[in-house]
A and B are shown apart, each in its own frame.
Chain A
Amino acid sequence: MANQSMRRRSQGSFAVWEARLPLILTYVFLIAGAFVMVMPFAWMVSTSVKPDREIFGDTIRWIPTELDLQNYTDAFEQTNMPRLFVNTVAVTAVAVASQVLLGSMAGYAFARLQFRGKMLIFFALLTTMMVPFEVLIIPVFLLIRFFPLAGGNDLLGQGGTGLINTLGGVMFPNFVSVFGVFLFRQFYLGFPKEIEEAAIVDGCSRIGVYWRILVPNSKPVMGTMALFAFLWSWNDFLWPLVVVKEDSLKTIQLGLSVFDQEQGTAWAELMAASVMAVVPVIILYIFLQRFLVSGGLTSGLKG
């Protein structure tokens, strides 16, 4: 290596450029690509702070001549943004808490406990990872619609509307994720057994071992799970669309999609509302992205 670079230096500026060319081309390609990836978001932000005459002008203006934050207040009021936020935060918080808790409990059972039927249950769950939610939308919808003793239904699920048009209905399919169960199982399998054994010798019960030793030591895997659960729930669209009819129960994605149809070409307000919907996710992503990358390999297997 040292020899090579010395030779290069002695061959004059052309050789230096030739040696650097691959790196320069790499940068040109990567930066051009990154520009294409980010441009739509930049354009969204740019549009959201522009007065209409600049949006519909003859030229493209990336940086507006004057800031028009009126679009944000308009969008805020027209979409009933506080309501959308409260609903989305409620649905997302329940999904995150429940998927972390149930995932870690089930993961512990599969990783550490011996019981009859373990392999059978395990492989049954493994198989369900292959089934995307979209193809089960009809039976799950019927399950929610005919949910016993909810929304005026009797014990057999007849007579009312079940969990349709309730936040509980939106939450129901997101209480547990198979992906989470496997994520935690994998993590606990790699956890040193000696610590647990020492605790058991000292008289700690199994539940105590789980609660006092495993749970406090699973922060990385809980972070990964929480971030995935957050993204799925916050960005979920099809299921809330199917369940919720009433405006006061809509999540932010749903409110946004309807706003789009109602407002037609009010692009400035639409983009302002989009910014408000995406900013929490991007902030969280920037702070927690190290968790995403570690779990990213299996992200295609969401179940």
Chain B
Amino acid sequence: MSLAVSERVAIKAEGVDWRDRIYRFYNSQAFVAFLFLLIPVLLLAALKIWPVFYNLYLSFTRYELFEPPRFVGLKNYKYVFTNKTAFQSIINTLLFTIEAVPIGTALALIIAKLLDQSIRGRVFLRTLYYLPVVSSVVVSAMIWRWIYSPQHGLLNFFLGLLGIPPQHWLNDPNLALISLVIVTIWGSIGSNMVIFLAGLQDIPRDVIEAARVDGASSLQNFLLITVPLMRPVILFVVVTFTISIFRNFGLIFMLTQGGPFNRTNTMVWEVYQNVFGYLRLGRGAALSVVMLIIVLILTLISFRVLRERQGA
């Protein structure tokens, strides 16, 4: 692989030698960096950087795959914000977020806080809470479809025990979105909990201990000390959780296909429909750009918040 020291000393002693020069080039930082970065950087440029700009370009064109893209100005953006179905998808995504994020985040924080004590079986309980994160969205969706099944589903059976009549969860326009929200919260508690558990490590124990000695109850301790100190981590979870909802395609594909009556038609589903359903790539691209802008704003907020946390 490399020349032995004695050999190189010998070469140097002989004076200028082509082998020495080649070795020096081969061993230069620039050459090794070029070698190591060439493939990863080319791939990422093709898959992550070029697509952002090409997507932006496509959003100003009419493109149906078989003819070259034709420039149409802002027509696609006008469509996104005025067409009832397309605009509804933005509203639905926001509704989905508002219904899932506050409850999902609060539950994950409470569970993390309770698991952050030295109680018996805590590792086992953490594993159980994390299980839905490991399962694929297709499998999760399949299981929940069966649980939501109107005739023989588990959920309607439990409700029957309470005297509530069976519901058509995924086919009921008023319940479909909530049904998806329940699955989303169930599937995300584990990953949010892990972030909270990491954040809780940074809270100085003596602060909480001091408050406890001064007579603060566990609840007061949680609300008045833990939550304010965890504020940056909570914001981070809220943002990443929101982004994951924006990206949530599989659940909608498997459970509702955007229905009933477009009630679960979110942006990512509408993009998919426009591109692979109606072959209107320009419209899909415009909606993708809107999605990307929202995601970028949210990510920048989360980076800022993280930096604040590190500075504190």
Contact = CB atoms under 8 A, between A and B. Distances in A.
Contacts of A198: none
Interface in A129-183: 130-143, 172-173, 175-176, 178, 181
B246 A203 contact: no
Contact of A40 (B36, B110, B143, B296): B143
Interface residues on B, range: 35 or more
Nearest to B30: A115
A2 interface: no
Interface stretch (B50-58, B78-86, B94-102, B164-172): B50-58
Contacts of B142: 44, 256, 260, 270-271, 274
Contacts of B137: 235, 237, 253
B189 A106 contact: no
A138 B29 contact: no
Interface residues of A, number: 96
A132 B246 contact: yes
Given A138-B288, A207-B1, A238-B250, A274 B143 contact: yes
Nearest to B183: A40
Nearest to A203: B5
A299 B244 CA distance: 11
Contacts of A299: 191, 194
A208 interface: yes
A205 B2 contact: yes
Interface pairs A-B: 6 shortest CB-CB: A300-B240, A139-B51, A235-B136, A128-B48, A205-B2, A296-B194
Interface of A: 22-23, 26-27, 29-31, 33-34, 36-41, 43-44, 47, 55-56, 60, 102-103, 105-106, 108-109, 113-116, 118, 121, 124-125, 128, 130-143, 172-173, 175-176, 178, 181, 202-208, 210-211, 231, 234-235, 237-238, 241-242, 253, 256-257, 260, 265, 267, 270-271, 274, 277-278, 281-282, 285-286, 289, 292-293, 296-297, 299-301, 303
18 contacts: A26-B114, A30-B111, A30-B115, A33-B129, A43-B146, A106-B40, A113-B32, A128-B44, A137-B288, A138-B285, A176-B40, A178-B48, A205-B1, A238-B250, A257-B253, A297-B194, A297-B195, A299-B191
Given A30-B125, A300-B191, 11 more contacts: A31-B125, A34-B128, A113-B32, A113-B36, A115-B29, A115-B30, A138-B275, A138-B284, A203-B2, A237-B249, A300-B244
Interface of B: 1-5, 8, 23, 26-27, 29-30, 32-37, 39-41, 43-44, 46-52, 54-55, 58, 107, 110-111, 114-115, 117, 119, 125, 127-132, 134-140, 142-147, 149, 151-152, 154, 157, 186, 189-191, 194-195, 198, 218, 236-237, 240-241, 243-244, 246-247, 249-250, 253-254, 268, 271-272, 275-276, 281, 284-285, 288-289, 291-292, 295-296, 299-300
